[in-house]
Structure 1
Amino acid sequence: MPNNPDAALLAAEQSTTRLQALEVLRELVGSTDAQFHDGQYEAIEALVDAGRRALVVQRTGWGKSAVYFVSSLLLRRRGAGPTLIVSPLLALMRDQVAAAARAGVRAVAINSANQLEWDNVREQLAADQVDVLLVSPERLTNPSFRENQLPELIRRTGLLVIDEAHCISDWGHDFRPDYRRISDLIEQLPGNVPVLATTATANSRVVHDIEEQLGSGVLTIRGTLGRESLRLGVLKLADSRDRLGWLLTHLADMPGSGIIYTLTVSAAEDTARLLSEAGHQVLSYTGRTDPADRERAEQLLKDNQVKALVATSALGMGFDKPDLGFVIHLGAPSSPVAYYQQVGRAGRGAANADVLLLPGSEDREIWQYFATASMPSEEKAAAVLNVLAGSGSALSTVALEARVDLRRTPLELLLKVLAVDGAVERVGGGWRSTGRPWIYDAERYARIAEARVDEQDSMVIYQDTAGCRMEYITAVLDDESARACGHCDNCAGTWFPAHVEAAAADAAGQTLRRAGLVLEPRLQWPSGMDRLGVAVKGKIKPEELLAEGRVLARLTDLGWGGALRELFATGAADREIEPAMLQGCVQVLREWAVGDGRTAGWSGQGRPVAVVSIPSRNKPVLVESLARGIAGIGQMPYLGPLQLEHGGPAGARGGNSAYRLAGVWDRLVVGTELAQNLASLGGQGILLVDDLADSRWTMTIAGRALRQAGAGSVLPLVLGQAA
């Protein structure tokens, strides 16, 4: 017994807290003999008794949510206000609310999916009937929430929890600018309010960044990252045909149900279609999947009603299925952190789970795109700031698009970055300048870009290492206790079959050779075109519209995508179309002509009787050879290209809709000879050929010019689509 009375009192308080915490934990997990994992009670004690700021970095399934639920109930019993949890995903919120309810924790959420419930949530908060409130980081930037609800929440908050805290760091694999707002939130909290940050995926650099944003005196609890339940492996196959063939051959033999990760949306959709057609119960799950369909797919996987979800990284943080049997990657994620986060979905409540990586030759190209997508451009940032500074009022993102040549998603991301840095703020009606100076941190962004390359190199080393895969991946994540697992393919020998059945490879090959995507016509002019000198607005006139078109493939597709990426790569020579690719286009035309059950043949427009091409400054030989080839096979006359005026289309690919339209307006015209040929056709349909569709405005303006010159329907045929 301590001689010091204060020490004795402290020891008694600590003993009482531990007993209370253990009681709550057992209620939470539904077990009368549950005990804390190493580090769990230490974190709870720091929050509840000491009011400290803590960072918990522990592997998936360790029980981070138990720390904040137990702490929340203990603090509530001591008279504290509700816990505020910042959580990044709707799926994560749903699981957290459900878990809280099982433990008797009154939890509610405010997010974009339950706006009709907000008034009820506010009433519950006012009546002190909420133990835990979950909000998305985006809520913190909402002007109404920030001004009307947040001040009272800050005043009453008993504990702040930042879930998936690696999102707070732009060194992390899943940085989200809205998370940077949390630093401002922490500064506004009373000094005695504890703060907890949790993540399963952080190396030392990310940990240090999070610690800096939490403030001084942070208690960091890091556990071992090794997962004994996971059996890792890498299988290198020749190409996409063999990788998909391997899935067709062996998916049914994988244990339980699982996740098949791909790097792109189109790869997920193509793979899910192939497996479904072969009789496998799978669903695709991507950023394009409707939210209701996502929730349904998650539940079907949890209930083992499907063998697998074929998913992009959209299925990640927060998805909780303890008995997930396997994770397969078609293509490697760009960093060990991202890879560890995804494989961590498996084996959480099961003794064994299989994890297999099937790397692809196209992985580095995809990594390169995503590595730079989240970093702001100094030129674009300056343009946005200048526009906002010169505006007398707030501007919406739609209004900004007519003033800055930047697409919606990167524009919104840039605005969030500028808002975090204090240069702009979101208010009712849009965005406005704060007048504060902003300096582009070129050195920091260069360091981040360099770190991204290092992470990519680490993933290549992971694929090639002869040592233990678990030891390598955890060591790269700065786990000081990293050690050999004893059961990965390098430790215990290859545990997975490598052969691909010939029939499966053939089926995969047929799927990859399958061609044809619908190219939707533009129906409406972008807003604000008058500011760019183009006097159009509203809907495009029916007599100027394109018909529905077709594309051979997306550049990101598993099949034709590889050949198209090579064709349009920077510096690639302009050459005549390959016979195989021309035949792929012919296949598209044949299927288009007869319809597919959903659309009538030739979109109900009638068979085109001639071919016209869009003049290309980059690939003139390719486009003309495609147009002539189609015309010859279809026994139609090739009428030649439209003419370029004023130097042809202006602006690079990738700009926003308004600027892309302005760049092509009045720059594609029907020449005299072409006009005469069109007149001789008596208003019949034209097949309009181009090499690459991006914004679709070039095709739209070319089709408009042809229709004004007397063409009937104009049906576009394009080799590749950018996304």
Structure 2
Amino acid sequence: MSENLRTAADAVLGRLVGDATGSARLREDQWRAIEALVAQRRRALVVQRTGWGKSAVYFVATALLRERGSGPTVIVSPLLALMRNQIEAAERAGIRARTINSANTEEWDAVQAEVAAGMVDVLLVSPERLSNPDFRDDVLPKLAATTGLLVVDEAHCISDWGHDFRPDYRRLRTMLAELPPGTPVLATTATANARVTADVAEQLGTGGLPDRDEGALVLRGPLDRESLALAVLELPDAAHRLAWLADNLQALPGSGIIYTLAVAAAEEVAAFLRQRGYRVASYSGKTEDADRRTAEADLLANRVKALVATSALGMGFDKQDLGFVVHVGSPSSPIAYYQQVGRAGRGVDHAEVLLLPGREDEAIWRYFASLAFPGEEQVRRTLQVLADADRPVSLPALEARVDLRRSRLETMLKVLDVDGAVRRVRGGWTATGQRWMYDAERYAWVARQREAEQQAMRDYAATTGCRMEYLRRQLDDEAAEPCGRCDNCAGARFTGGVSAEALDAARAALGRPGVQLEPRRMWPTGMPAVGVELKGRIPASEQALTGRALGRLSDIGWGNRLRPMFAEGALDGPVPADAVDAVVRVLADWARGPGGWASGDPGAPARPVGVVTVDSRTRPQLIESLGARIAEVGRMPLLGRVRYAEGRVPERIPRSNSAQRLRVLHGAFAVSPELAAELARAAGPVLLVDDFSDTGWTLAVVARLLLRSGARGVLPLVLATQG
């Protein structure tokens, strides 16, 4: 039986990898996992390096189980790029695969009908589907009853000890509990240390079947990739990093990935490299799905030298001949870093892996750390709002009552849902009334773990020992030893020198100021529920015009210059001269650009005829000095300041969600009679000057006031924006 099964398994592998000679053979650990799943119907946890062949295990097991009459395999997979790769691989093996995810909603009914008719061998499901009420209540029970094999891909996402925790994965516990006895389960990951591995096993219940003595089969292999040559290059600033890329990208082997920490940086780097003649594309969470598909296809076919990507390309992209991975900025976790560099060198003998750390890295780490699980007071507030409601509360309506950004609020609700404290239903969220404990000790320990991971990345960049050995030890790889290939083992392969031409071009690109600010056009949902009678579309006559910011705080160019001004505890003071000069360039470009007052475009606003500033508790000198300098350079009058209304100076304006921010800002400002008179005399629009725009609601509220007070148009201008 076992010998015949092994022969059949190798035959499926041959089809999967396109081997017509019959020589394809499974690795011993691959075969052990397949045998456990197919012959013994066990549960298995496979922790193996990227490119080891985890997908071969579940596709071969699927083919063998289907031949034996089992139901379809359900694969929970986190990213669309990963799903697309998996579907293509399945088709090569003659396995019929379909997917249900956010990008193919119009196909869901047809896919579910095909599954019910037995026409699908593999169904790939995004974890977000597991918490969708209709899918959870109508589809998931039927899937659980008929599933022949459950696969949890990138299983480290289930653990909040890991670097990429996703609460939707916790829903798998419900599905596991509903699987018929004897249904095999496979969990796979390439990036899990011992603690995450243990937590995943606990979360998934990967113990033995109730009627058997043996536990789960755990296959954990060495994580070395003999093709990867790791290196770190410390360069003086962002301009030197861009210049280095411009000078050296062509010499890097094949095509590859350039990772950045933020969307803005990905766009900046891609734009500069295109300017320098390279074929590259940017890839991030903001990239449209069709553009992502095109970018992936172009990289797979080597039509581009690189994708400049955020962590949106962090998991599942499979290109066997990927020749390099360069990081412009350091990830906050060695596990996340190892996962991303593991994209390279799967099917080639040598791949370059280079880290170019930057001084903006730690500010970005702090920002993402601020998105951790909320404090107990905010959680209890959310539970109370839901408990007091007589019907389900939608996420937008909940935002108006809870001081959390939508992404944090939604993640928190998903955790509470899995814990049984709330339930997502049609129309929103409800409280279940079940007792719930705030696990402060666990959340604090997770935060400390994040800090330890950040220190580990600092130590990785500074180590004089083997870099591969260092990363493997961070993943608790007991077989870790010096690699003989990294820059510390074999000597530096790159120098930090850059050409004067490339450096000048990089400085010009990064020094080019100006970011467009789109005005707010809709009031947040749920404002009447908190006593603010604003809803629907903001009338065009009360909207600001499209504005400008000098730069984004997440930029690797102006962001590095602006960030210290807005750091917590930074002293207020007059605007620096270089920032004034840059703002003047922004105004000049704005005037001449598309839609600018000097462009001649139909419908363009008239030239601004005056400057108005916004009151501030934290940076009044900065704003007033900027307004005065703009008025002086532009030869316009400084018309006045929109001040806080009497008795309405807010102690704190929430930097959370739009509804909470608007709730505090509504009625907080007033236009004095003197300023109103100046606005009435002004023969054109005014420049509205503020220091910073995050959500855009301060500008929207103040612009509405000015327009209602007689302004003929409001053009917002700020030093910095967040996104």
Q: TM-score, normalised by structure 1?
A: 0.96
3-state secondary structure, aligned to 1:117: helix
Aligned equivalents of 1:531 and 1:463: distance in 2?
51
Instruction: Tell me which residue corresponds to 2:89.
Output: 99
The one-letter code of the counterpart of 2:120 is V
Deviation at 1:704, TM superposition (A): 1.5
After superposition, the Cα gap between the structure-2 partners of 1:212 and 1:598, relative to the gap in structure 1 and judged at 3 Å, is farther
Instruction: Tell me which residue corresponds to 1:477.
Output: 475
The one-letter code of the counterpart of 2:165 is F
The one of 162, 168, 176 equivalent to 2:158 is: 168
The one-letter code of the counterpart of 1:689 is V
CA RMSD of aligned residues (A): 1.5
Contact 2:591 2:597 in 1 (8 A): no
Deviations 1:615-648 (A, max 9, x none): 1110011000000011111111112211211333
Instruction: Tell me which residue corresponds to 1:701.
Output: 701
Instruction: Tell me which residue corresponds to 1:348.
Output: 346
3-state secondary structure, aligned to 2:52: coil
The one of 64, 80, 84 equivalent to 1:90 is: 80
3-state secondary structure, aligned to 2:690: strand
Deviation at 1:543, TM superposition (A): 2.1
Instruction: State the percentage of identical aligned residues.
Output: 56
3-state secondary structure, aligned to 1:642: strand
The one of 110, 128, 132 equivalent to 1:142 is: 132
3-state secondary structure, aligned to 1:314: helix
1:178 aligns with 2:168: yes
Deviation at 1:133, TM superposition (A): 1.1
The one-letter code of the counterpart of 1:612 is V
1:639 aligns with 2:639: yes
Aligned equivalents of 1:40 and 1:313: distance in 2?
28
Select between 176-185 and 396-405 the one with higher mean Cα deviation.
Answer: 396-405
The one of 306, 310, 317 equivalent to 2:304 is: 306
Instruction: Tell me which residue corresponds to 2:210.
Output: none
Aligned equivalents of 1:136 and 1:598: distance in 2?
44
3-state secondary structure, aligned to 1:171: coil
Written as runs of structure 1 = structure 2, the 5 A alignment for 1:539-618 is 539-596=537-594, 601=599, 604-618=604-618
Aligned equivalents of 1:374 and 1:89: distance in 2?
22
Instruction: Tell me which residue corresponds to 1:290.
Output: 288
Select between 364-373 and 425-434 the one with higher mean Cα deviation.
Answer: 364-373
Written as runs of structure 1 = structure 2, the 5 A alignment for 1:220-239 is 220-239=218-237
Select between 320-329 and 208-217 the one with higher mean Cα deviation.
Answer: 208-217
Aligned equivalents of 2:650 and 2:281: distance in 1?
41
3-state secondary structure, aligned to 1:39: helix
Deviations 1:404-459 (A, max 9, x none): 22222211111111111111111111111111111111100111111111111111
Aligned equivalents of 2:694 and 2:314: distance in 1?
29
Structure 2 residue runs of 5 or longer lacking an equivalent are 208-214
Instruction: Tell me which residue corresponds to 2:13.
Output: 25
1:516 aligns with 2:506: no
The one-letter code of the counterpart of 1:480 is E
Structure 1 residue runs of 5 or longer lacking an equivalent are 1-12
Written as runs of structure 1 = structure 2, the 5 A alignment for 1:299-378 is 299-378=297-376
Aligned equivalents of 1:403 and 1:505: distance in 2?
50
Aligned equivalents of 1:55 and 1:600: distance in 2?
64
Instruction: Tell me which residue corresponds to 2:66.
Output: 76
3-state secondary structure, aligned to 2:82: helix
3-state secondary structure, aligned to 2:312: coil
The one of 194, 201, 209 equivalent to 2:191 is: 201
Aligned equivalents of 2:626 and 2:596: distance in 1?
27
Instruction: Tell me which residue corresponds to 2:211.
Output: none
Aligned equivalents of 1:634 and 1:319: distance in 2?
51
Instruction: Tell me which residue corresponds to 1:256.
Output: 254
Deviations 1:82-131 (A, max 9, x none): 11111111111111111101101111111122222222222222222221
Deviation at 1:672, TM superposition (A): 2.1
Aligned equivalents of 1:621 and 1:497: distance in 2?
44
3-state secondary structure, aligned to 2:692: strand
Deviations 1:459-507 (A, max 9, x none): 1111111111111111111111111111111111111232111111111
Contact 2:403 2:654 in 1 (8 A): no
The one-letter code of the counterpart of 2:182 is N
Contact 1:650 1:663 in 2 (8 A): no
Deviation at 1:262, TM superposition (A): 0.5
3-state secondary structure, aligned to 2:579: helix
Aligned equivalents of 2:271 and 2:691: distance in 1?
26
Aligned residues: 710
After superposition, the Cα gap between the structure-2 partners of 1:477 and 1:399, relative to the gap in structure 1 and judged at 3 Å, is same
Contact 2:595 2:604 in 1 (8 A): no
Deviations 1:201-249 (A, max 9, x none): 1110100001112322121101110111011100000111111111111
Deviation at 1:28, TM superposition (A): 1.8
Aligned equivalents of 1:703 and 1:129: distance in 2?
58
Deviations 1:532-579 (A, max 9, x none): 222222222222221111110111111111121100111111010100
The one of 26, 30, 34 equivalent to 2:24 is: 34
After superposition, the Cα gap between the structure-2 partners of 1:663 and 1:26, relative to the gap in structure 1 and judged at 3 Å, is same
Contact 2:285 2:310 in 1 (8 A): yes
After superposition, the Cα gap between the structure-2 partners of 1:131 and 1:679, relative to the gap in structure 1 and judged at 3 Å, is closer
Q: TM-score, normalised by structure 2?
A: 0.96
